[in-house]
Amino acid sequence: MMLRIVVLVLIIVCADLAKGESKVPCYFIFGDSLSDVGNNNDLRTLAKTNYPPYGVDFPGGIATGRFSNNRTIEDFITTFLGFNKSIAPYSAQINEDILRGVNFASGAAGILSNSGSQLGDRVWMDKQIRNYLITTSKLVLKVRGHVSDYLNKCLYTVNIGSNDYINNYFMPENYPSKRLYTPEQFANLLIVRFRSQLQALYNTGARKVAVFGLGLIGCTPAQIAMRNATQCIDEINQAANLFNEKLPSLIDDFNRLPMAKFTLISLTAMQALNPLPPGIITTSTCCQLRSDFQCEPFTPPCANRNIYAFFDGYHPTDVVNGGVAESAYNTPNRMIANPMNINELSSS
């Protein structure tokens, strides 16, 4: 019986996808460098990657501004949803395509407006929301009926907060946060801001929202090297974990609102429950590093990108992003995706 339902569902899904239709009509993406697909290219900032060896595996070898050798997590999710091309960056000023969604993510961006500012300009979360509101106002002329009724059907993913730690709290020479706040107070401050940012999305009609928690940012090669350490920096992981621990009740609060379907994707649970296969290198990076732990421009990357977890000092390779996306989309494990995975969220 169960099997028959599964088969039936698969047939329906495949029939939909075969018609060239995606599971949701539109997908809006918010976040930082993990999700950026070129929004920083024309900004004055070090946090941009529109140069080789970034994009070495991207069709045509183009360095689009993705912080990887090929696809982001959201690129994979876009494909799983049945879209036939990736969601364009806001900076591309796409016109008709805004109906299928826009990517607002920006490298070095944080929940707080000043996080990442030592690297230069960036589109912080409040500004991403401003750009989103500009986009939704343009939709008035493009959709039949209320824009909010259209937005109700769209998928939203939000993956932000790492820079509030890496490029703010744990950079006391550039930012006062660590002197002003305990890790607990800082996590509370981020949650207060994050709540109002997610509320702003809800207020426009966003109902299907997947929020990513922070990964083990103390385990990135950059953070380990900056501390001259040989293993993960527990102080950073523990501070980020205080933020992560507050996300479930934030998501629960949103799910009490009418029609809201918010879900939490826990990257730390994913990392603990689906460890990388043995043989994947995590202690060094695929590309040769600049002093800021991005790739040194125009240097050759490693030959076998599939055996490295990190492309540069902070950012995963395509193969890792694919694994994360697959898990976020399909996992039945409620430790990883709660109360549902992105496939269930999209179908709901």
H or E element at residue 27: strand 27-31
**In the complex, least distance from residue 81 CB atom to ligand NAG, rounded to whole angstroms:** 12
Instruction: Indicate if 42 belongs to the active site.
Output: no
Q: Rounded distance, CA 72 to CA 52, Å? A: 16
The one among 130, 195, 227, 334 contacting ligand NAG by CB under 6 A: 227
From CA 203, how far away is CA 118, in angstroms rounded? Answer: 32
Q: CA 174 → CA 46, 62, 183, distances in Å?
A: 16, 34, 17
Compute how many residues bind ligand NAG; rule: CB under 6 A. 11
Q: Pick from 159, 318, 340, 342: which binds ligand NAG (CB under 6 A)? A: 318
Number of C-alpha atoms within 13 angstroms, CB side, residue 56? Answer: 22
Using CB under 6 A, pick the residue from 1, 5, 18, 59 that binds ligand NAG: 59
Q: Nearer to ligand NAG by C-beta: 115 or 223?
A: 223
Contact call for residue 228 and ligand NAG (CB under 6 A) = yes
Of 328, 208, 213, the residue nearest 259 (C-alpha): 208
Of the listed pieces 1-9, 53-61, 116-124, 209-217, which binds ligand NAG according to CB under 6 A? 53-61
Closest CA to 153 of 14, 312, 347, 296: 347
Q: How far is CA 291 from the centre of its chain?
A: 24
Site stretch for ligand NAG (CB under 6 A), options 54-62, 120-128, 167-175, 250-258: 54-62
- Evaluate the omega torsion of the peptide bond into residue 275 and state whether it is cis, within 30 degrees of 0: no
285 binds ligand NAG (CB under 6 A): no
Whether 312 is a known active-site residue: answer yes
Min separation Cβ 246 and ligand NAG, Å: 29
For 223-252, give the DSSP string: HHHHTT-SS--HHHHHHHHHHHHHHHHHHH
- Decide if residue 71 touches ligand NAG (CB under 6 A): yes
- In the complex with ligand NAG, the residue whose CB is nearer, 226 or 260, is 226
Catalytic residue check, 68: no
First CA to last CA distance, the chain: 21
Q: Which of 57, 74, 164, 312 lies at the binding interface for ligand NAG (CB under 6 A)?
A: 57
Which of the residues 35, 68, 117, 315 is marked catalytic? 315
User: Which positions are annotated as active-site residues?
Assistant: 33, 312, 315
Residues of the shown chain interacting with ligand NAG in the complex, contacts defined by CB under 6 A: 20, 57-59, 70-71, 84-85, 227-228, 318
